[in-house]
Amino acid sequence: MPAECRHAAEGRFSLCPLGIRSQHHGRGDGLVLTNGPYCFDLCEVTWRVPGRPPEQAVLPAGEVLAWAGERGAGDQAEALLALLTAARAPLCGLDLARPRIMGILNVTPDSFSDGGDRFDPERAIADGLAMMEAGADILDVGGESTRPGAAPVPRDDEIQRVVPVIKALSTAGALVSIDSRHAPVMAAAIEAGARIINDVTALTGDPQSLRLAADAGVPVILMHMQGEPQTMQRNPSYDDAALDIFDYLAARIALCEEAGLPRERIVVDPGIGFGKNLDHNLRVLEQMAVYHGLGCPVMLGASRKSFIGRLAPGAAAPKQRMPGSLAVALSAVARGVQLLRVHDVAETRQAVAVWQAVEEAAGNP
């Protein structure tokens, strides 16, 4: 095989939309990003071949196919553009044409930000109802901390923590997701009323998880994590954090599809803070739009995380990081992210509403 053909066969083409803006701006035609209301007209393209420095360029969207074709990646580029511009199916009835807010409800004694605050199930239920009132579209109930260094929780303990809360909230009309990496917990949560699985291991943490998720018929959030909670922050390493994570999630989606879990039921989360240092986190946040090329809704979970404290004086404690959390949430919305997993529901909802109103005002002189 000639060298150039071999490189084309081995290479990976990546595409990150740039120039993302509200369609209300009326500035040129642009390509619609997923469901809208955003469009884009520029792309950062990257061509990676093992053993060679990556090639990168910023191009008008109309020039992407030609650039990729010169490198034998025309088919990859065409497929990515199709996934970027394809509409996303509703998530449990939620239209994803506007950002949706997932409220974090940790029923644990040791979560990094609010450990112990909601360990009492009655308090957790009351706070979950308050989050609904404040505008949470989804309530994410978790019974095991996955903060750096956290120890595993016995399955029965995790089930006993989450099931009463899920039952009460789902009975009250909440759309509940179960934040777990263990198949027995997922099964018990679904029986109790949970309608979404949120797994920090992308269904790799339990050999039964993928089969359970495929058979359950519920949407699944696949998150990237390098390593395990006990060890993930010791020495994380990537060639390119954003693109390596893209490749990992693409491979997980392919395996899910083979197992009977269709792409239409998958959400992706690049996993800020899970096996990533500050530079890795910032690279992923800057490149969030690249994950739309996976053909799934994209979720960001960066609320109150430690990288904010490293960037902002006076934010050493997790509960001091709300302003930074709002800033990173708005940066994600500006990149078309459909789901925000947050501690501060009312504040995030207000910030997103104002940001969107300002963006849309540009088309109404």
Closest-CA residue to 347 (of 286, 314, 313, 304): 304
pTM: 0.93
In a domain, 91, yes or no: no
Domain CATH number, residue 302: 3.20.20.20
**56/153 same-domain check:** no
**76/177 same-domain check:** no
For residues 41-61, average pLDDT: 96
pLDDT confidence band for 127 (50 / 70 / 90): very high
Which amino acid, one-letter code, is at 135? G
Please give the structure tokens belonging to residue 209: 């998880």
Over the Cα atoms of the chain, what is R_g? 20
pLDDT at position 6 over 60: no
In a domain, 94, yes or no: no
Residues with a known catalytic role: 305, 341
* φ, ψ (nearest 5 deg) of residue 101: -110, 125
**45/144 same-domain check:** no
Looking at 35, 58, 85, the residue that finishes a domain is 85
**7/120 same-domain check:** no
Looking at 85, 108, 136, the residue that finishes a domain is 85
**163/211 same-domain check:** yes
pLDDT at position 24 over 80: no
DSSP state of 221: E
Measured distance CA(175)–CA(159) in Å, rounded: 18
Q: Are strands 196-199 and 220-223 parallel, antiparallel or unpaired?
A: parallel
In a domain, 92, yes or no: no
pLDDT at position 208 over 60: yes
**66/172 same-domain check:** no
Mean of pLDDT over the chain? 91
Per the structure, the complete domain to which residue 147 belongs is given by: 100-361
